[in-house]
Amino acid sequence: MASDAPAAAGRITPAALLARKGKEPIVCLTAYTYPIARLLDPHVDLLLVGDSVAMVLHGHPNTLGATMDMMVAHGQAVMRGSSRACVVVDMPAGSYEDTVENAVACAQRIMRETGCDAVKLEGGVAIAAQIAAIVAAGIPVMGHIGLLPQSVEKEGGYKIKGRSEANAEALYADARAVEAAGAFSVVIEGTVEPVAAEITRRITIPTVGIGASPACDGQVLVTDDAIGLTVDRVPKFVKEYAHLRDIVADAAAAYAKDVRSRAFPGPEHLFSLTKDKA
Ligand code: KIV
């Protein structure tokens, strides 16, 4: 299926983001739907169609519930709703770890069916061959190191990274592997601040932090967290810029009251026998 999204001509490119290393911070938010993409597009440099969609919109307990079909459908919606931001779509768990061939085929499907600008994969040294092969196929890649949500079951929970010297060294190796494989930038998630800052100093591609460091070359948040729509626990690294939870609940309560009292619909919402506007 071909993408019916606006042409990519006016979009911020992965190459332009790469050139922002050490310069103006890269602004990134997640987007999964057409209306949210439309609202965020004028304000951000990068829209991430994260596999967090499995949790945030579909109610799965973790990101392992994301599928290729899910990522493609949400990627298409975000492309239709945006024309300026660089759009990156997450490769879901199971679509790239096993073989380089499958990784390239799945990345090609995401690009072909969404028309997005790049894909994102979780892991460093362990998936450097997959990143290099996808890049060699002409597809820009964003890396993702530190806390890897797709490894939550393997690791027995969400564990902050970089607290021991050995783990910090492993993260530096991951960052260098992602850079050497040709990624244009890398997300650093859930990593102690000094290590995230040091990774940012050590590599030549932009780092985009989430629960990482203000020294990163950019920041990303899950939009639903940032606008206060998250109904469960809000993570420590999140700053809520609005409280839409309360606004939605208040609106639903007001609507229910109006319906029950027959205050809605009012005369202004009704059609008469004479011709009037819809
Ligand atoms: O899936 C996602 O939303 C992400 C961000 C948290 C970086 O990968």
**Has residue 248 been placed in a domain?**
no
In a domain? residue 249: no
- Indicate whether 194 belongs to any domain: yes
Q: Report yes or no: 20 and 26 within 8 Å, Cβ to Cβ.
A: yes
Residue 189 appears among annotated catalytic residues: yes
- For the segment 19-48, the average pLDDT, to the nearest whole number, is 98
Ligand 1 atom 8 nearest Cα: 50
Which residue's entry shows tokens 């990519």? 8
pTM: 0.95
The residue-averaged pLDDT of 147-161 equals: 95
Residue 272 marked ligand-binding: no
Inform me whether the pLDDT recorded for 87 exceeds 90. yes
Q: Which helix (H) or strand (E) holds 198?
A: helix 193-202
* CA dist., res. 163 & res. 191, Å (int): 8
What is the domain range of residue 125?
Answer: 14-243
8 pLDDT more than 50: no
Q: Using an 8 Å Cβ cutoff, are 56 and 32 in contact?
A: yes
Euclidean distance between CA atoms 29 and 221, whole angstroms:
5
Beta strand pairing call for 207-210 and 218-221: parallel
User: What is the CATH classification number for the domain harbouring 208?
Assistant: 3.20.20.60
For the cut 90, the answer to whether the pLDDT of residue 197 exceeds it is: yes
Determine, yes or no, domain membership for 253.
no
Spatial distance between the Cα atoms of 144 and 138, rounded to a whole number of angstroms: 19
Which mutation among 32, 33, 189 tests ligand 1's pocket best, with the greatest number of atoms within 8 A of CB? 189
- Residue 134 in domain: yes
Domain count, the chain: 1
Residue range 213-263, pLDDT digits in tens:
999 999 999 999 999 999 888 999 999 999 999 999 999 999 999 999 999
In a domain, 231, yes or no: yes
Q: How far is the CA of 216 from the centre of ligand 1 (A)?
A: 16
Phi, psi of 177 (to 5 degrees): -65, -40
Q: Before 35, cis peptide (omega within 30)? A: no
Classify residue 256: in a domain, yes or no. Answer: no
- Give the separation between CA 74 and CA 65, rounded to whole angstroms: 14
The reply to whether 63 falls in a domain is: yes
